[in-house]
Amino acid sequence: MSSHIRLIAGLGNPGPQHVSDRHNAGFWLLDELARRAGSSFHVESKFHGEVCEISLTGARLRLLKPHTYMNRSGLSVAALAHFFKLEAEEILVVHDEIDIPSGELRVKQGGGHGGHNGLRDIIAHLASPSFARVRIGVGHPGEKKEVKDFVLHAPGRDEKQLIHTSIDKALDYLPQLVDGHFSQAMNALHRRTKREQVENDKQHDN
């Protein structure tokens, strides 16, 4: 059993010009989570971002949207973590993932940054890679040189719907993740993904 999660940090870039960017998928999930909980974010300068508190599975949970821009996400996450004396294992980071197709989702405990600059900075500031992750697939442009422009633009209508469907799926399993039942959540998500793939294949065959 993993540690109980006390902080969920959703990654993205601040400002109205970035609201619809693929890179802001982490913000999208936190906005929906706060909305469902009947809570709202407020700016907290000492944490370099927006925060709110919700109750999930009977426990208090802090949500954080860094305003430091993606490449300096660790400054915000570490400021809140150090203030509340949180261990890396008590943090869940939600971020976009270009190596996963839009509409798909992965959860992970620990590991490297995989080239994601937000994760790279968080690992550096926490001096640990042991935080959990929810990886929201946003697809890949096909060429490495196009990635930066790709994640800083909005997805098309159909792709956006796929991403938001995966966010809904992530929220279905969030209570298990927050309670520390990480392996169970991963296995349940894996089974669900396989089942959905089989159903999609059948529809295409018909």
Q: Which of 23, 48, 95, 164 is catalytic?
A: 23
**pLDDT reported for residue 1:** 45
Please confirm, yes or no, whether 116 is among the known catalytic residues.
no
Residue 29 maps to a domain: yes
| Confidence check: pLDDT of 9 > 90 | yes
Domain contains 16: yes
| Stronger pLDDT, 154 or 57, i.e. the higher one | 154
Strand partners, 51: 42, 64
Is 199 within a domain?
Answer: yes
What is the distance between the alpha carbons of residues 165 and 155, in angstroms, rounded to a whole number? 14
- Report residue 206's pLDDT band, with 50, 70 and 90 as the boundaries: low
53 falls within a domain: yes
pLDDT given at position 186: 86
Taking only the tens place, the pLDDT of each residue in 176-192 is 999 989 889 888 888 88
**Parallel, antiparallel, or unpaired: how do β-strands 91-97 and 132-137 relate?**
parallel
Q: What is the pLDDT of residues 139-153, one digit of tens each?
A: 999 999 999 999 999
Q: Quote the Cα angle for 9-61-167, to 5°.
A: 50
What is the domain count for the chain?
Answer: 1
Domain span holding position 50: 7-205
Task: Supply the CATH number for residue 151's domain.
Answer: 3.40.50.1470
Burial 9-31 (b: 16+ CB within 10 A, else e): bbbbbbeeebeebbbbbbbbbbb
In a domain, 177, yes or no: yes
Asked if residue 137 belongs to a domain, the reply is yes
Res 117: pLDDT: 95
